[in-house]
Amino acid sequence: MSLISEKTIERLILYRGLLLQANHESESGIYSHQLGRMAGFTPAQVRRDLMQVGYTGSPARGYDIAKLIQSISALVDPAEKREIALAGIGSIGRAILAYFQGRSSLLEITAAFDTDPEKTDRVIHGCRCYPVDRLSEIILARGIRTGILCVPSGAAQSVTDAFVAGGVRGILNYAPTRLIVPPDVYVENRDMIMAVEKVVYFSGPRTGQRKETG
Amino acid sequence: MSLISEKTIERLILYRGLLLQANHESESGIYSHQLGRMAGFTPAQVRRDLMQVGYTGSPARGYDIAKLIQSISALVDPAEKREIALAGIGSIGRAILAYFQGRSSLLEITAAFDTDPEKTDRVIHGCRCYPVDRLSEIILARGIRTGILCVPSGAAQSVTDAFVAGGVRGILNYAPTRLIVPPDVYVENRDMIMAVEKVVYFSGPRTGQRKETG
DNA sequence: TCATGTGAAGACATTCACAGCA
DNA sequence: TGCTGTGAATGTCTTCACATGA
C-alpha cells in the first residue's frame, strides 16, 4: 500500500484536474460513479484510487470535493514551490513555455536553455533563457530537480547528461529518442510522432485491426 | 493472438523508430537483447512483441533489420497515404505542424482549423487552414479518419463532436479534458500539464514517494 | 554456445460482489 | 435504498526458463 503505482498517480492527477475544472456550485459532494463517468473509468477504479490517498468518503454524501482536491494535492504536490528547467527553445519548447505560463502556482519553468545565441540571454514567455553550456551549473545552483527536454534527437542524450549532472531527478522527454539515465532518474517519454502513428493505427478500418504480416 | 494490445503497438512503433534512426552500416541483424537495451525493455519483452508481428528471426543472426522494419510497417502503417486534420492553431498546434512537416511520407496533416479569422484561409507550415465551421464538411469530403486536437479545453468537446460528425475514428487529444466519444472512436490523451505534474511527483525526494495524507 | 519462440509462472491492474453504514 | 471500502476473483502484462536449432 505504501507505494502508489504510476498509473494511479496519473489518474489521481486527472481527477483533481477534472474537479478543479468543473463548476460545482450546486454540489459539494461527488460519488465515485460520477467522477468515474467524468474521467472515463469504472466506479470501482475510482474508489480503489481514492483509497490510496487516504481520504475516505461517506456512503451518504460521497466524497467532499474540496477535501478530496486537498487530499490529492497533499499527495502529489511538492511541499514547496518547484522550479523546472526546459531545454530546447524550438517550436515545441516555446509552446510549452507559453502554455505553462501561470497555470500552476507551485510549478514554474524558470530557466530555458538553447544552443542558438539568438535565443539565449533574453526572456521568452516570461522565462529567462541561457546557453546550454551553463545548464548543469545553473540548475545545480538553483536546486532544480525536474527537466523538460525538447531538443532535436541528436542532442537529446548530451543534454540529458547535463540535466543529470545538474542533479535533475525527473525528465519529461519530447524528443523521439530513448534516454539513458541512472536508475534513480525518472523519465516520461512523450514522442509526438509516435503518438500520431499510434492514433493512425487505431483509427484504421474495423477498430484499427488489420493483420497482413509480410 | 489476433488482437494486438495498445502497449505492444506502442513498443513496435518505438522499435521501428529506433531501428530507422540508428545507423546499422556494419550490422544487418540485431538480437533481442540489443534492441531491448536500445528501447529500455527486457529481451523477453522484445521477443514477445516481435512474435506478434509474425516475422521470425534466427538464433544465429537474430532479426534482419530491414525485414523487421518492413514487417512492423506492414502491421502498423496504413495501406495508403493518410491525411490528418488538426484543430486549434495556437502555439501547440503550430508546433505540431512545424514538427510534422515532411517527417513521414505516409502521414500528412493536410487541413488545419481555427476560429480566429486571422489564422484561417491561409497556409501555415505548408498546411491549409480553414474556419472550424467547415471542419465536418471538409474532413468528410476528404475521408480524413484521424484528428489532432489542440484547442483550449472549453472548445474541446464541441470540436470533438465536429470531428466525429466528420467521420474521424481516432483523436490525439492535447486538451486537458476528457472527451466524450462513441465507443468505436479511439482517443489518445496527451495532456501536457498532467505530464509535468506527474514528472514533478516522480522527481520528488526518495524515488518520488512521500505520504502525508491530510 | 548463444539466441529464438513459447508454455507456464509470476506480478500487476481492474472489476466483482458484498458487508456495513447512514 | 444506495453508497463506500475492500477481500476475492478475474484479467492483462511481463518475466522466467527451457526445448529447439544453427
Q: Which H or E run contains A34?
A: helix A32-39
Q: Rounded mean pLDDT of chain B?
A: 93
pLDDT for residue A209 = 38
Q: Give domain status of residue A45, yes or no.
A: yes
Instruction: Among B75, B95, B112, identify where a domain stops.
Output: B75
Nearest Cα of chain B lies from the Cα of A53 at a distance, in angstroms, of: 6
3-state secondary structure of A189: strand
Please state at what angle helix A32-39 crosses helix A43-53, rounded to 10 degrees: 110
**Shortest CA to C1' contact from B60: nucleotide:** D22
CA A39, C1' C8: Å apart?
36
**B48: CB within 7 A of chain C nucleic strand:** yes
Say if residue B209's pLDDT is above 80. no
**Which of B53, B92, B190 is nearest residue A195 as measured by Cβ atoms?**
B190
The reported pLDDT for the residue numbered A2 is: 59
Same domain, B95 and B155: yes
Residue B172 neighbours by CB under 8 Å, 6+ apart: A195, A196, A199, B146, B147, B148, B149, B188, B190
Whether the pLDDT of residue B206 is over 60: the answer is no
Domain identity same for A148 and A91 = yes
Please state, in angstroms and rounded to a whole number, the distance separating the CA atoms of residues B212 and B197.
17
Count of domains for chain B: 2
A191 and A86, same domain (yes or no): yes
pLDDT at B22 over 90: no
**In-domain check, residue B209:** no
Asked if residue B183 keeps its beta carbon closer than 7 A to nucleic acid strand C, the reply is no
Q: Tens of pLDDT along B91-132?
A: 999 999 999 988 888 999 999 999 999 999 999 999 999 999
CA of A156 to C1' of D10 (A): 42
Q: Does A1 map to a domain?
A: no
Contact B150, B85 (CB under 8 A): no
A57 Cβ nearer than 7 Å to chain D strand: yes
pLDDT at A101: 85
Assess if residue A181 is contained within a domain: yes
Which B residues 18-57 touch A at CB under 8 Å?
18, 21, 38-40, 53-55
**Alpha helix (H) ranges present in B1-86?**
6-21, 32-39, 43-53, 65-76
Residue of B nearest to A10 (CA): B198
CB pair distance less than 8 Å for B14 and A53: no
Same domain for B118 and B26? no
The answer to whether strand D lies under 7 Å from the CB of residue A60 is: yes
B70 & B163 share domain: no
Which strand C nucleotides have any atom less than 7 A from protein CB atoms?
Answer: 2-7, 12-17, 20-22
A93 and A156 housed in the same domain: yes
For the stretch B159-178, pLDDT in tens is 999 999 999 999 999 999 99
Residue nearest to nucleotide D15 (CA to C1'): B44
Domain stops at, among A40, A58, A75: A75
Residues B182 and B119 in one domain: yes
Coil vs helix vs strand at B182: coil
Tell whether B160 is covered by a domain: yes
Q: Do B147 and B121 belong together in one domain?
A: yes
State the pLDDT confidence band at B213, using cuts at 50, 70 and 90: very low
Same domain, B61 and B112: no
pTM: 0.94
Q: Do both B98 and B185 map to the same domain?
A: yes
Any chain B CB within 8 A of the CB of A190?
Answer: yes
pLDDT band at B211 (very low <50, low <70, confident <90, very high): very low
CATH code where residue A92 lies: 3.40.50.720
Q: What is the pLDDT along chain A (214 residues), one digit of tens a residue?
A: 458 999 999 999 999 999 999 877 778 999 999 999 999 999 999 999 999 999 999 999 999 999 999 999 999 999 999 999 999 999 999 999 999 988 888 999 999 999 999 999 999 999 999 999 999 999 999 999 999 999 999 999 999 999 999 999 999 999 999 999 999 999 999 999 999 999 999 998 754 333 322 2
* Cell numbers describing residue B21: 534512426
Residue B89 maps to a domain: yes
Are A30 and A54 found together in one domain? yes
Q: Tell me, what's the pLDDT at A210?
A: 33
Instruction: Give B31-88 pLDDT, tens digit per residue.
Output: 999 999 999 999 999 999 999 999 999 999 999 999 999 999 999 999 999 999 999 9
Per-residue model confidence (pLDDT) at position B186:
97
Residue ranges making up the domain that contains A11: 6-75
Q: Would B201 be classed as within a structural domain?
A: no
| Pairing state between β A63-64 and B63-64 | unpaired
Rounded CA Rg of chain A: 20
| Domain end (from A59, A75, A91) | A75
Please report, for the domain that includes residue A66, its CATH number: 1.10.10.10
3-state helix, strand, coil in chain A (%, to 5): 45, 20, 35
Instruction: State the pLDDT at residue B26.
Output: 75
B189 within domain boundaries: yes
Q: Do A170 and B100 touch (CB under 8 A)?
A: no
Instruction: From the CA of A43 to the C1' of C16: give the distance in Å.
Output: 12
Both A57 and A154 in a single domain? no
Using a CB-CB cut-off of 8 Å, the residues of chain B touching A18 are 178
Nearest nt to the CA of A59 via C1' is: D3
HSE, side-chain direction, 13 A CA sphere, residue B149:
31
Mutate: best of A178, A184, A207, A210, partner B, most B CBs <10 A: A178
Helix and strand numbers (H, E) in chain A are 9, 9
Return the number of other C-beta atoms located less than 10 Å from residue A204's C-beta: 21
